[in-house]
Amino acid sequence: MSAFHTAGPDAPHRAPRAAPPHRRRPPSARGPRAAGSQRWYAPWPYLLAPLALLVLFTYVPVVNMFVYSLTDWDGFSPTRNFVGADNYVDLFTRPRFFQVLTVSLFYLAGSVVQMVVALYFATVLSHEIRLRNLFKGILFFPYLVNGVAIGFVFLYFFQPGGTLDTVLGAFGVEPRLWLGDPDLVNTSLAGVSVWRFMGLNLVLFIGAIQSIPPQLYEAASLDGASRWQQFRFVIAPSIKPIISLSAILAISGALSVFEIPFIMTGGSNNSETFVIQTIKLAFNFNKVGLASAAAVVLLVIVLLVTWLQRLLVPDERVEQS
């Protein structure tokens, strides 16, 4: 009988022996189609649409704006004459073009107030209090309203004998020209910006605060920490990246503010911003090339300020445990 004779049905069943551990292969090494293997190009089909929109509506307009800044185009003529850096020389040899940046200081100060108030409400509304969802909606609602509508609403709010004068008159305050006085107009407009954009910072801060593990609050309470100490040593360090992001948005927004002063004053009474000045150069004086150069300069200023802010206050990895 052969040594390789197959065992009959009455023979005892023997389970196959497992391969030694050193001879087993991981699942990812068992073939090109094995589970766990991933092609390097797999994510790109999903990124094509957003990348195409980003390039089409962001980078292409920026490149076109830079090209226009090197010409004397008036916005209507089919021909554009190349003038090189003449538009930039014109900008930097006229200091009045950059004097309007001082107006942005009012909005920057308003942004600081806005962040402080939003952080306060976010801290309070992150705890279990009655009607907190209602208060969240009330505070976030102004951000949902169109900026043009807000501008027209506050035109009636600040007009002589309007809502603000009526309320303040009940406390004996005399009426003032809130939008007609050069000493008050920028403060009034910055106040409108604070009211409108505080909801955005509120949502960012609430989301960051709610991501903090509850064990940190429990440990702080066991150590006898007060509410202020919990904010200082638990909340503030944990949401530092979001605070940094809000600061970047505040600085860029203060430098590029447009719709509220444009709707409410049109840039009159010393309320003209850099963007309003650029719009007037392009559409009132038909100097699209010069306006494009001003827009490029503003973009460079925003990027430079953002870079400096990131350099001076770098993001630190926050370990929450």
Is the distance from CB of 126 to CB of 139 less than 8 angstroms?
A: no
pLDDT tens, N- to C-terminus, the chain (321 residues): 444 444 444 444 455 555 555 555 555 545 555 444 568 878 888 889 999 999 999 999 999 999 999 999 988 888 889 999 999 999 998 888 888 889 999 999 999 999 999 999 999 998 888 888 899 999 999 999 988 999 999 998 998 888 899 999 888 888 888 998 899 999 999 999 999 999 999 999 999 999 999 888 888 888 888 888 889 999 999 999 899 889 888 888 898 899 999 999 998 888 999 999 999 999 999 999 999 999 999 999 989 988 888 887 776 655 555
Reference 260, options 60, 106, 68; nearest CA is 106
Structure confidence at residue 191 (pLDDT): 94
Does the reported pTM lie above 0.75? yes
Reference 291, options 302, 276, 305, 270; nearest CA is 276
Structure confidence at residue 122 (pLDDT): 93
In terms of DSSP H, where are the helices of the chain?
Answer: 44-54, 60-68, 86-92, 96-99, 104-125, 132-144, 147-158, 163-169, 185-210, 214-222, 227-230, 236-238, 240-255, 259-264, 274-283, 288-312
Structure tokens at 315: 């993001």
Structure tokens at 269: 């009474």
